[in-house]
């Protein structure tokens, strides 16, 4: 399933349609709307499940399940258009409210919509189960759901299970299991898990935010206390004094409340080891009292983050988000390459590809032709390996299989500023042999090349 978010006349963007649950890269000039769109995506991610209410069950109701007397609800090619149309009706009603909540002010938006594409044969089914009903393939369930928890549910109240079917999985794959005393709530919770996107927006200028987040919250507490003391004098605090958008505030809050999740540390150990060896050449330590610190592999001296390099501060939040107690399934990262040397940018692309291969959804923006070119190279290589089944090419280039991407899962979009002050967003189609054509970077490169020729001619004539 691929989910796309579309806008028309949003802020300065005339139109855009972006894949929001795969691997997406934004390129484009400054002041073209990339940051605005990324924050909108973050906000919509949090609100998609709010669009699914009891009325939608009427569209998805499938009658009696073949294996039991329980009713089931199905999302398939037969009703996906009705399902999306209903969601978009609700989204259209709430678009101004959603935008105002995200940005803390009114931002123009004419149209906000989603599109959902199912793979051929892809079907989602919510099955209502009673204690007497059989769950289906027990091994499949045990592999995805804690066994004790599952048995507890089965012995308790009626529950619902969400199954995903495809052409390759006739028996289905267990996605989630829900139990509740309210019948409709069980079904809605199961449907919510199809659309739920728990992402984290990581804004640009992460170095400053890493250094100042504690002071920010200390000042916020001071403001609240001051208001409480002077409330009898009817002194009203200014609204939204920080002028932060909701996604930016959430990032600061994430830093403030960060705590390690040991199971995530184990799950992503290989990726974390790569990050520490190839990127920061050290380790990020966390302490609830003293905050974050950096331990270099060179001298093994631990220093507070404000003494670490801007490169470390810029990318440290990536691994913190990966290991947080708040489990995120996707990252939306603005200006991904900030403060990184070109060689580090090459390693960063490999790290991000590895995260995506482990199931982390990514939406990234970049101004770097180095970063974009590395993405391009690995895209071409991935196509070649997939088509010709020649893994030896990977080792010859000093890479590993984990560095590749799924070509069909990578989406690239270019933001283009128009003469009227607006911008448009177009998808760049990838070619299996030449990759993506980045017009913006090509123009800059050609300009520099032409300039170098002219300077050379001037020096020769002098």
Angle between helices 310-322 and 246-257 (to 10 degrees): 80
Closest CA to 17 of 3, 35, 36: 3
Q: Which tens digits make up the pLDDT trace of 261-274?
A: 999 999 999 999 99
Predicted local confidence at residue 356, as pLDDT: 96
Q: Which two tokens stand for residue 131?
A: 């204690």
Task: Identify the band that residue 175 occupies on the pLDDT scale cut at 50, 70 and 90.
Answer: low
Q: Give the full edge-to-edge strand order of the sheet including 71-75.
A: 61-64, 71-75, 123-129, 159-165, 173-179
Judged by phi (left if over 0) then psi (alpha if -120 to 50, else beta), residue 300 lies in: left
Predicted local confidence at residue 442, as pLDDT: 83
d(CA 126, CA 181): 16
Q: Which two tokens stand for residue 431?
A: 């070619």
Which of 24-28, 55-59, 87-91, 234-238 is least confident?
A: 234-238
Would the CA dihedral through 8, 12, 18, 20 be positive or negative? negative
142 and 150 in contact (C-beta within 8 Å)? yes
Confidence check: pLDDT of 2 > 80: yes
Q: Which three-class secondary structure string do you get for 277-345?
A: HHHHCEEEEEECCCEEEEEECCCCCEEEHHHCCHHHHHHHHHHHHHCECCCCCEEEECCCCCCCCHHHH
Query: Residue 313 to residues 182, 269, 284, 292, 345: CA-CA distances in angstroms?
Result: 47, 20, 10, 10, 15
Task: Identify the band that residue 133 occupies on the pLDDT scale cut at 50, 70 and 90.
Answer: very low
Check whether domain 1-52+81-116+329-462 has CATH 1.10.357, yes or no: no
Q: Which residue has the higher pLDDT, 208 or 33?
A: 33
Q: Give the rounded distance of the alpha carbon of 4 from its chain centre.
A: 13
DSSP notation for 211-257: HHHHHHHHHHHHHHHHHHHHGGGTPPPPTTTT---HHHHHHHHHHHH
d(CA 128, CA 54): 15
Q: Would you list the domain boundaries of the chain?
A: 1-52+81-116+329-462, 119-196
Q: Which tens digits make up the pLDDT trace of 372-428?
A: 999 999 999 999 998 888 778 898 899 999 999 999 999 999 999 999 999 999 999
Mean pLDDT for the stretch of residues 131-139: 44
Task: Identify the band that residue 101 occupies on the pLDDT scale cut at 50, 70 and 90.
Answer: very high
186 and 127 in contact (C-beta within 8 Å)? no
150 and 99 in contact (C-beta within 8 Å)? no
Predicted local confidence at residue 144, as pLDDT: 39
End-to-end CA distance of the chain: 63
Predicted local confidence at residue 67, as pLDDT: 45
Task: Identify the band that residue 135 occupies on the pLDDT scale cut at 50, 70 and 90.
Answer: very low
Maximum mean pLDDT: which of 96-110, 122-136, 210-224: 96-110
Predicted local confidence at residue 41, as pLDDT: 97
Q: Which two tokens stand for residue 387?
A: 């088509």
Task: Identify the band that residue 176 occupies on the pLDDT scale cut at 50, 70 and 90.
Answer: low
Task: Identify the band that residue 52 occupies on the pLDDT scale cut at 50, 70 and 90.
Answer: confident
312 and 305 in contact (C-beta within 8 Å)? yes
d(CA 279, CA 285): 16
**Tokens 């609830």, residue?**
288
Q: Which two tokens stand for residue 66?
A: 């073949």
Mean pLDDT for the stretch of residues 319-348: 94
Predicted local confidence at residue 172, as pLDDT: 62
Percent of the chain at pLDDT exceeding 90: 53
Predicted local confidence at residue 205, as pLDDT: 85
Average pLDDT over the chain, rounded to an integer: 83
Q: Which residue has the higher pLDDT, 48 or 110?
A: 110
d(CA 462, CA 452): 15
Mean pLDDT for the stretch of residues 176-187: 56
Closest CA to 367 of 342, 402, 347: 342
Task: Identify the band that residue 43 occupies on the pLDDT scale cut at 50, 70 and 90.
Answer: very high
250 φ, ψ to 5°? -65, -35
d(CA 435, CA 351): 20
Task: Identify the band that residue 216 occupies on the pLDDT scale cut at 50, 70 and 90.
Answer: low
d(CA 114, CA 412): 18
Q: Which tens digits make up the pLDDT trace of 298-325?
A: 888 889 888 889 999 999 999 999 999 9
Q: Hey, is 421 helix, strand or coil?
A: coil
Q: Which tens digits make up the pLDDT trace of 160-174?
A: 777 788 776 556 666
Predicted model pTM: 0.85
Predicted local confidence at residue 374, as pLDDT: 95
Predicted local confidence at residue 196, as pLDDT: 80
């Amino acid at each position: 399933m691929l989910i796309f978010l579309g806008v028309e006349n949003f802020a300065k963007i005339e139109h855009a349609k972006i894949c929001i649950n795969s691997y997406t890269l934004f390129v484009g000039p400054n002041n073209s709307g990339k940051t605005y769109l990324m924050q909108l995506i973050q906000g919509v991610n949090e609100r998609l499940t709010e669009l699914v209410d009891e009325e939608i069950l009427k569209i998805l109701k499938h009658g009696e399940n073949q294996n039991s007397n329980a009713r089931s609800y199905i999302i398939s090619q037969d009703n996906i258009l009705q399902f999306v149309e209903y969601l978009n009706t609700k989204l259209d009603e709430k678009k101004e409210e959603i935008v105002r909540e995200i940005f803390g002010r009114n931002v123009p938006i004419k149209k906000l919509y989603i599109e959902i594409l199912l793979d051929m044969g892809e079907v989602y089914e919510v099955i209502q189960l009673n204690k007497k009903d059989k769950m289906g393939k027990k091994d499949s369930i045990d592999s995805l759901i804690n066994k004790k928890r599952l048995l507890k549910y089965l012995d308790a109240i009626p529950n619902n299970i969400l199954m995903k079917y495809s052409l390759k999985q006739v028996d289905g794959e267990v996605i989630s299991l829900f139990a509740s005393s309210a019948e409709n709530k069980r079904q809605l919770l199961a449907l919510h898990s199809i659309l739920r996107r728990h992402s984290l927006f990581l804004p640009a200028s992460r170095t400053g935010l890493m250094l100042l987040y504690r002071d920010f919250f200390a000042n916020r507490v001071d403001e609240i206390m001051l208001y409480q003391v002077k409330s009898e004098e009817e002194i009203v605090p200014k609204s939204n004094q920080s002028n932060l958008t909701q996604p930016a505030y959430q990032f600061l809050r994430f830093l403030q409340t960060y705590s390690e999740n040991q199971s995530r540390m184990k799950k992503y150990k290989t990726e974390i080891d790569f990050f520490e060896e190839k990127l920061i050449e050290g380790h990020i330590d966390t302490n609830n009292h003293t905050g974050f610190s950096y331990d270099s592999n060179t001298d093994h001296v631990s220093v507070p983050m404000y003494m670490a390099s801007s490169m470390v501060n810029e990318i440290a939040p990536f691994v913190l988000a990966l290991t947080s107690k708040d489990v995120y399934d996707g990252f939306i990262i603005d200006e991904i390459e900030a403060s990184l040397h070109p060689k580090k940018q090459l390693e960063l692309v490999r790290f991000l590809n590895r995260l995506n291969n482990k199931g982390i959804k990514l939406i990234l923006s970049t101004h770097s032709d180095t970063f974009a070119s590395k993405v391009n190279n690995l895209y071409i290589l991935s196509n070649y390996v997939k088509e010709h089944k020649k893994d030896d090419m990977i080792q010859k280039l000093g890479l590993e299989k984990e560095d590749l991407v799924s070509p069909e899962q990578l989406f690239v979009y270019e933001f283009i500023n128009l003469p009227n002050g607006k911008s448009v967003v177009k998808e760049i189609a990838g070619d299996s042999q030449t990759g993506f054509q980045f017009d913006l970077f090509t123009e800059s490169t050609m300009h520099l090349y032409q300039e170098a020729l002219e300077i050379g001619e001037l020096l020769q004539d002098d």
